Amino acid sequence: MHDEVPGTIPATTQTDDVPRATPAPIETDGLDPDIAKTVTALYGDGIDGRKGAFTPEWADALREDIEVAYQDALGREGGAVGRGPKRHYVEIHPEQMRGWLDLVDHPWVRGVCEAVLGPDYQIIELGFDVPNPGAKDQPFHRDFPMPDETRETGRLTSLAFNVTAVDTTEDMGPFEIAPTTQWDLPENFEHEMFPDKSLYPRFHELAVRKYPQRGDISVRSALTIHRGTANTSDRARPVLVLGVDAPGAGNAEHHDMAVTRGFYEQLPERVRRHLVCPVVDELEPIVQKHSIEGLMMGEA
C-alpha cells in the first residue's frame, strides 16, 4: 500500500525529459488527514491505500462471491474477457457482492471520491480480475487514454479502487505500478494506452510491486502505468475493481452493471445519488464489453 511506494514526487519537479501534463494545484485544507494524505498521493505517486479497512473475514466473503460469479461467467459465452494468458476480467452487478454497500459507503472511499472527483461523483463499474496460475507478465499499460481534461487542466477524472480477496505473496503475480506516470503524455503509446517497449527501462526503474492483504483497499489513477506480473504459484489472485468517475468523464458507457428496484430502494440516499446505472425489475447476466485489445494476448 502507500508505505511500499516511494515518497510523493511532484511531476513538475522530475528531472527527466518525459513529456507530461502538469498536475492541477490541489487543496487539502479542511479535509480529514487520511483523506488529505490520499489526495496528495493520487496527484503525486498516483496510488495510495488503506490497510485493514475491513476484516479478513469480510475479504473471505468477497472471495466466495467472486468464485461463484467467476464460475458462472466462465460457463456462458461473453461472461468473461481475457486479459492475457490465464487471466480474466469479469464485470458483475452490485447484488452479486454481499459487501458492496460496505465498500461504497466506507468513509474513506466516500471521502476520497468526493475530494478528488467532486460531490457528484458516479459509481460506474464493479468487476474483478483473476490472474490464475500460469498468468504471464502483462505489458505496461494504462486502463484508458488520457482524457482531454487531464491533459489540459491536470485534473484526475476517474479513480479505480482495488480490494484483494487473498493475502498477496510474491509468487502470485503481484500488481506492479510505476509512480507518477499518470501524468505521462501518450507519446509513442499504442492506442494512447500501451507505451512502446523502448520506454520500459524507465517503468522498470520506477515500478513498485504491491502485496495487499485481506481487508486492505487501494485507490489509484487508472492512468498510472501498471501491469499484472506472472503468477508462478498454484493459487489464483482475485482482486475486486470499483470504478468511480467525475461527472462527464464518460467511462460509464463501457460498463453494464445494474441494480434491481428493491435493492436500490433499500440503499441510503447518500449512496443512491452516486449510482448512474439502470434500475431494473430483473438482472440480466452481463456480456463483457470492457475489453482491452492490447491485453488479450493468447488464450485466457
How many Cβ atoms are within 10 Å of 87's Cβ, its own excluded? 27
Residue type present at position 77: E
The predicted model gives 90-99 an average pLDDT of: 98
Residue 3 or residue 182, greater confidence: 182
For 188, 195, 196, 223, 252, the CA distances from 191, given in Å and listed in that order, are 9, 9, 11, 13, 20
The cell for 24 is: 492541477
Please identify which residue in the block is written with the cell numbers 440503499: 267
Mean pLDDT of the chain: 92
Q: What is the pLDDT of residues 51-80, one digit of tens each?
A: 999 999 999 999 999 999 999 999 999 999
Q: How do residues 81-92 score in pLDDT, each as one tens digit?
A: 998 899 999 999
Q: What is the pLDDT of residue 1?
A: 41
- Domain locations along the chain: 46-281
pLDDT band per the 50, 70, 90 thresholds, residue 289? low
Average pLDDT over residues 258-269: 98
CA 98 to chain centre: 19
What's the CATH number of domain 46-281, 2.60.120.620, 2.60.120.10, 3.40.50.720, 3.40.1120.10? 2.60.120.620
Sorting pLDDT into bands at 50, 70 and 90, what band is 299? very low
CB 35 within 8 A of CB 115: yes
pLDDT at site 250: 84
